[in-house]
Structure 1
């Protein structure tokens, strides 16, 4: 496995700036390259450094029942894993993100073996991080999705901690941005990578934290099927993030 260190950063700036999506991951000072839909697939798929499942375009997933809501389209698995110890932070790196309204969540799923061989729609995901409306009202307030944007060319950084009590093993990590800026037309932007988690933990979450994609979301959930521009929303200062509770170990 080849991890991309800071020296490789310059090679990623060019094409990555042209789209919005999860481009890289960092653990400590080590950078790991994700898939780039602007580059030739054959130059990336199956490469020994690839840790992220393929996402072929910046187009969102529009339906909670779409099988690609799990790990984007087409979700071709990579050969490599990001090594990380339970209790460490993993940071998702975006070089550009446009939308300002909606929640962001991070999920894990144990593969119980090689993650390249699992069905992403059958594994059981659990949420380890979430952020939504931080202050103000729903249409005009400050969302974490807006706060993490940078417009000066510097990366948009999204850190999350792997629960310290998590049982070691091979996992998938799933980052999802849900954009709700268009009336009753939610846009899901998921990306998945593979992790090799080490540490002294021994725990997996109980059943009430587990979800499948599709299946985790109700299409009629008022946090998903929403028109943020109504008078009611202008007077609403709270937002319930869909997908159930966070498991932090």
Structure 2
């Protein structure tokens, strides 16, 4: 146990940016993936897709927008369990502490696995966008107020709503932020996508069309080439396909301590 805690501590010490460390789905907390889990035998079974190559909490470069790394992060492999959430319910994505300088949008996609997400080929997943927020207040006094600023202000959390009309089944939720502090030219944006498995319940019948992960973006898209230091700020358009027509937004407020956890004992994100 001691060696496991040491590894967890080292991983936290070298953290440069951030990851989705867990989620709260319909009031229940589910642990996400930590790259240090690769050193633990047996590795914890969590809802977050495994990203052992992301030891430095780094980003996916824009040059990888055409390959599998952009889907769920560097070398991501399937999570082996899922969080249950009803259609119309909320999923709160818990981020590790995020740098204020890394301003950008918050975006969430879903993809139907059409079977078990534990074994689905990620390159076959077709994603549809259910949540996308970019710049919120270009006239904010001290700095522009972006979706990432709201996430930070809400205790490093972002909440997305599962569309009410969505058909029940197994889905991969792809949640990301895109840091734009170096995005004045092509290749400067930093993408941080993370995936979790969801089991959606309900009586909906909608099966939204989607886009393959490797086709979601091009590095020349306007949402990836943007000067956050310009004055006045130009209009910002979140990248990728249009928002799903059945999507609904939610006022971003911290949801508080969950009522339960998938393991029976809730631990805060910063606890080992």
TM range (shorter): 0.7 to 0.9
Change in 2 beyond 3 A, CA 1:171/1:15: farther
Name the SS of the counterpart of 1:74 in structure 2.
coil
Q: Is the 8 A contact 2:180 2:224 kept in 1?
A: yes
Structure 1 residue runs without a partner (length 5+)? 1-12
Match of 1:80 in 2: 81
- Report the CA distance between 1:191 and its aligned residue: 0.4
Over aligned residues, Cα RMSD in angstroms? 2.4
Does the 8 A contact of 1:178 with 1:186 survive in 2? yes
Is contact 2:81-2:118 (8 Å) kept?
Answer: no
Alpha-carbon distance in structure 2 between the residues aligned to 1:228 and 1:146:
13
Q: CA separation of 1:44/1:116 partners in 2, compared to 1, >3 Å: closer, same or farther? A: farther
Shift of 1:14: 6.7
Aligned residue number for residue 59 of structure 1: 58
Provide the secondary structure at the position in 1 that maps to 2:124.
Answer: coil
Counterparts in 2 of 1:27 and 1:47: CA distance versus 1, 3 Å: same
Contact 2:129 2:242 in 1 (8 A): yes
Write the deviation string for residues 199-234 of structure 1: whole angstroms up to 9, x where unpaired: 0101112x4xx22221111221122133444xxx32
When residues 226 and 136 of structure 1 are mapped into structure 2, their CA distance, relative to the original with a 3 A threshold, is closer
- Equivalent of residue 125 in structure 1, options 124, 127, 131: 127
8 A contact 2:26–2:85 mirrored in 1: no
> Mean Cα displacement is larger for which, 17-26 or 131-140?
131-140
Q: 1:171–1:46: structure 2 CA closer, same or farther, 3 Å change rule?
A: farther
Distance 1:171 1:194 in 2: 6
Change (3 A) 1:40 1:167: closer
What CA distance in whole angstroms lies between the structure 1 residues aligned with 2:240 and 2:79? Answer: 26
Cα distance, 1:100 vs. partner? 3.5
Q: What does the per-residue CA deviation read over 1:111-155, in whole Å, with 9 as the maximum and x for residues that have no partner?
A: 0001122221221100000111001169941101012214xxx83
Alignment match, 1:31:
29
Q: Distance in 2 between matches of 1:235 and 1:187?
A: 23
| CA 192–213 in structure 1, closer or farther in 2 if over 3 Å, else same | same
Matched, 1:167 2:167: yes
Q: Who is 1:8 aligned against?
A: none
TM-score (norm 2): 0.76
Name the CA distance, whole Å, in 1 between partners of 2:84 and 2:77.
Answer: 20
SS in 2 for 1:130: strand
The residue matched to 1:159 in structure 2 has which SS? strand
Q: Which residue of 1 aligns with 2:251?
A: none
Structure 2, unmatched stretches of 5+, are 1-7, 247-272
Contact 2:222 2:239 in 1 (8 A): no
Offset at residue 89 of structure 1 (A): 0.2
What is the CA distance between 1:40 and its match in structure 2? 3.5
For residue 190 of structure 2, the aligned residue among 172, 183, 187 is 187
Could you say what secondary structure the match of 2:72 adopts?
coil
